[in-house]
Amino acid sequence: MRRFLATVVASAAVLVGLGASTTTAAAVPSVPPTVSPAVAASADGWCDSWKKLSVGSYVLHQPMIKATGSRNCLLAEGASGSVVRILQLTLKQCNYASGLVVDGDFGPRTKKALAYAQYKRGVDDDGVYGPNTRKALLWPVYYPNGGTVGTCRPSPS
C-alpha cells in the first residue's frame, strides 16, 4: 500500500512539474527518515534487482541497481520485492535471523534482523542495507547450476 501511495504521489508531482519548468533535474530518490544522509550519500541509489556473482566455483546473490549494475545500493524499511527476498534469505541462511519470514517485505522484523547482523559484523547497526553492510555481511553460497552449498562467505569487493 505504501508503494502504491508513493507511486501516486510521485506521478502527480511529475505531472504538476511538467508545466512548471523547462529545466530538468536529476531524479533523486526520496530518503526515508530512517536513512541518515551519510548512508544515503554512500550509495548510487536504491536496490531494485539482484544479480548472481560468480566467485570461483560458487555463486552469490546480491542486491543491485538494475539500470547500472551497481551493487552500491540501499534497502530500507518499506522496500519490497525479490531484492528484499534475497536479503531476507541471506539473513536467515547465514544465522543472523533463523526465524525471519522470507516474504519480500522489508518491515520491522527484517530491519531488526539486519541491525543484528550489522552489529555481529561490526558495522553501524541502523537496520539499513547499504554498501558498508554489503561488504560486511556473510552471503549464502550456491552452486552455479542451483542449490545451496550450505556455507556463508564474505562479499567480493
pLDDT single digits (tens) 41-82: 778 889 999 988 888 888 889 999 999 999 999 999 999 999
CATH code of residue 70: 1.10.101.10
Residue 110 lies in a domain: yes
Cβ proximity of 47 and 80 under 8 Å: no
**What is the domain count for the chain?**
1
- Tell me which amino acid residue 94 is: C
Residue 33 confidence class, pLDDT cut points 50, 70, 90: low
Segments forming the whole domain that contains residue 65: 35-154
Nearest Cα neighbor of 31 from 6, 49, 11 is: 6
Q: Which helix (H) or strand (E) holds 62?
A: strand 58-64
d(CA 87, CA 113): 10
Global pTM exceeds 0.85 = no
Strand 45-46 relative to strand 73-74, pairing: parallel
Give me 138's grid cell: 556473510
